[in-house]
Amino acid sequence: MAKIVYNESDSILIRSVLKIGLKSLKKKNALNSFEDLQRISSIIKDMEAVEHPKSESGSTTAVADCRECE
């Protein structure tokens, strides 16, 4: 499987486009593309995990780097 390489600054745009596409497919009730819907959801989750890696700090889990919060 090929990996997509993109600028970090484009990741929010790419994730937003994927979310819009996912909502559009769900509204059309695309039952024949259930695997595609699951795959898109998985890609979005993976992108969010890469953008917001978690680090362990004691007994809680905290976001390691939050540029959006600053």
What is the value of pTM for the model shown? 0.56
Number of domains in the chain: 1
- Tell me whether residue 59 is exposed, middle or buried, using C-beta atoms within 10 angstroms of its C-beta: 0 to 12, 13 to 18, 19 or more: exposed
62 and 54 Cβ atoms separated by less than 8 Å: yes
Ordered per-residue pLDDT tens for the chain, 70 residues: 677 777 878 888 888 998 998 888 888 776 667 888 888 889 889 888 876 666 555 555 555 555 555 4
Specify if 1 maps to a domain. Answer: no
Residues contacting residue 47 through CB under 8 Å, at least 6 positions apart = 11, 14, 15, 18
Specify if 56 maps to a domain. Answer: yes
Residue 36: domain span: 8-63
Specify if 69 maps to a domain. Answer: no
